[in-house]
Amino acid sequence: MTLSSRRQFRPRSVSVVGAGIVGMCCALFLQRDGHQVTIIDPREPGEGASFGNAGIIATCQVWPIAMPGVLRRIPLMLLDPEGPVVLRWRYLPRIAPWLIRLIAAARPQRVERTAAALAALLAGAMPAYDALLAEAGASDLVRRPGWLKVYASAQAFAATAAERELLRRHGVRFEVLTAAQIRQLEPALAPLFGHGLFFPDCGLVLNPKRLVDTLARAFVAGGGRLLRERATGFAIDGDKAVLTEHSRHPCEAIVLAAGAWSRPLAARLGARVPLDTERGYHLMFETPEPSLGRPTQWGEHYFNLVPMEHGLRLTSGVEFAGLAMPADYRRIDRLARLARIMLPSLSSEPRSRWLGFRPSLPDSLPVLGRSARHADVYFAFGHQHLGLTLAAVSGRIIADLIAGRDPGLDLSPYRAERW
């Protein structure tokens, strides 16, 4: 049964603010229901975090950003020049309240609730994508090779015990691999890794930007409008509209899916949320020979090497520096040295560098659902490291809400008002 065959509502005009992967998926699911949809964004589709992410549909990632014991580990992470976390000290006064909430969210009971809420969303991630990819002719862009994490030291692998227990409690499939099994799965890796975790159900987008472009073409072909304008506010009382630098765009419903730029716009819609950014970097290399067959993370250093259709991508950990500070590629350039140790065939210099902004809430959950303050206003932002993974299921949920259908899960953990 298609969505349109069970339509029992009046199609409306809907404005989606944000042309990244989340906004695009919201727009396409709404369009499938027969709504007239307009996407508003000053950038081209997929030019934000959607452009440069790791391409992993991480259906396994029920663990939050901060696990128990994070307070003890943060100083060592910040002092490690090849570690996963960078803090620009000038940004500390701005990020401090967010970090305090992050530490509070790492308490064991909170982590368990977060994992359950993430698992509920992740269960629908691939089925929602399957529906969109088939209709947009983009199925060839997604493979399911799984995701591999490898560890050079027994101590580092042993430190994943709490994570593995969390995965088991929430029904995530994974395999513990020996050195021989790692070599069999990825023979191009250096013989350094004695322990591994393999997540067989994870997918890989071969070119995240091309995926968004393909979905955008399907959206326009279906009658959707793309407006290259910056949203500056909203008319809420009476006739609704999205206000931009250039115009006023009337609509009957609003979906805010502006990623890292959502916080001030959410405030104009009456939702004050502690959204900040985890800056992420990547380097692109020519595909080495031999290469990897799947995304592979060096567990001690938290970076991924990802085989894509246009090269091999090295993705970094996290930098806290907000939206305005200039890029600093020194950390990821140092990681390139480790990447060459990890994958000896990687001998080339990077051909491009990139910086993007993950929109993150300190409890690791997105803001997803209907506004409690305004009728016909909906939120879909703050997906942290899981924007690509959760984009399609978020779009399906927003479409269900606007149509008056039961989305099939409790949305209270993701409400904007939880703060």
Residue partners of 115: CB distance under 8 A and separation at least 6: 62, 63, 64, 166, 169, 170
Lowest mean pLDDT among 44-48, 83-87, 229-233, 257-261: 83-87
Residue 85 falls inside a structural domain: no
Strands 318-320 and 85-87: parallel
Question: Is residue 78 included in any domain, yes or no?
Answer: no
Is 229 within the bounds of a domain?
yes
Residue 293 lies in a domain: no
Q: How many residues does the chain have?
A: 419
pLDDT for 72 equals 73
Residue 62 is assigned to a structural domain of this protein: yes
pLDDT, tens digit, 9 for 90 and up, residues 216-244: 999 999 999 999 999 999 999 889 999 99
Residue 211, domain member (yes or no)? yes
CATH number at residue 413: 3.50.50.60
pLDDT over 70 (residue 71): no
Residue range 241-251: average pLDDT?
96
Mean pLDDT estimate for the chain: 94
For range 5-15, the mean pLDDT:
78
Note the pLDDT of residue 2. 37
Domain limits at 406?
Answer: 1-68+106-144+201-275+363-419
Assess whether pLDDT exceeds 60 at residue 7: no
Whether the CB-CB separation of 22 and 257 falls below 8 Å is answered with yes
* pLDDT recorded at residue 75: 73
Q: Is residue 8 part of a domain?
A: yes
Name the domain count of the chain.
1
Predicted pLDDT of residue 168? 98
Are 348 and 115 spatial neighbours (Cβ–Cβ below 8 Å)? no
Confidence of residue 106 (pLDDT cuts 50, 70, 90): very high
Q: State the sign of the Cα–Cα–Cα–Cα dihedral 181, 185, 189, 195.
A: negative
Q: What is the pLDDT of residue 8?
A: 67
CA distances from 10 to 33, 250, 402, 404 (A): 10, 17, 10, 10
26 within some domain? yes
Residue 4 has pLDDT above 50, yes or no: no
- Return d(Cα 384, Cα 362) in angstroms, integer: 9
Handedness of CA 76, 78, 81, 82 (dihedral sign): positive
Give percent of the chain with pLDDT exceeding 90.
91
Nearest 5°: the CA angle 314, 208, 225 is 150
Which pair of structure tokens corresponds to residue 15? Answer: 């404005």
Helix, strand or coil, per DSSP, at residue 177: strand
State pTM to two decimals: 0.96
User: Per residue in 107-162, pLDDT tens?
Assistant: 999 999 999 999 999 999 999 999 899 999 999 999 999 999 999 999 999 999 99
Residue 380's pLDDT is: 98
Measured from the Cβ of residue 273, the count of other Cβ atoms closer than 10 Å reads 18
pLDDT of residue 6: 47
Q: What is the pLDDT of residues 327-381, one digit of tens each?
A: 999 999 999 999 999 999 999 999 999 999 999 999 999 999 999 999 999 999 9
